[in-house]
Amino acid sequence: MKRINLMVVIAFMSLSQSALASMKVTVNGMVCSFCAQGIEKSILKMDETKAVFVDLKNKVVVIEAKDGKTLNEKLISQEIKDSGYDVVKIESISQTVAQFRSQAKDKK
């Protein structure tokens, strides 16, 4: 019985990690598509990054981690700051980049 409970806990933890494998970063200073492309390109170079979506209208960057990888909030923040932008807020979200992109299009 203990072994079954342990397996359930491990399975739940792995689901939780994959469900929170994305970060939503609010960024000040992005004003054009060139800004968005620069941020997207620099974040995609990071080893743990699977996908990036930049919502220029709402000044948001959504970053999804590769399977088995964890996004590093400090590295992401530093990468965006080094690109010349201000990080206002970083939060973990349960959506993938594709899901967030779809919702953003639906709101237009």
Mind listing the pLDDT tens digit for each residue in 58-91?
Answer: 999 999 999 999 999 999 999 999 999 999 999 9
Question: What's the pLDDT tens digit per position in 46-65?
Answer: 999 999 999 999 999 999 99
What is the pTM assigned to this prediction? 0.79
Question: What's the pLDDT tens digit per position in 28-49?
Answer: 999 999 999 999 999 999 999 9
Every domain of the chain and the residues it spans = 2-107
pLDDT score, position 108 = 63
- H/E stretch holding 81 reads helix 73-82
Q: What is the CATH number of domain 2-107?
A: 3.30.70.100
Cβ–Cβ < 8 Å for 23, 80: no
Picking from 4-18, 19-33, 73-87, which range would have the lowest pLDDT averaged per residue?
4-18
b vs e for 49-88, b when ≥16 Cβ sit within 10 Å of the residue's Cβ? bbbbbbbbeebbbbbbbeeeeebeeeebbebbeebebebe
Cα(70)–Cα(84) distance, integer angstroms: 24
pLDDT score, position 33 = 92
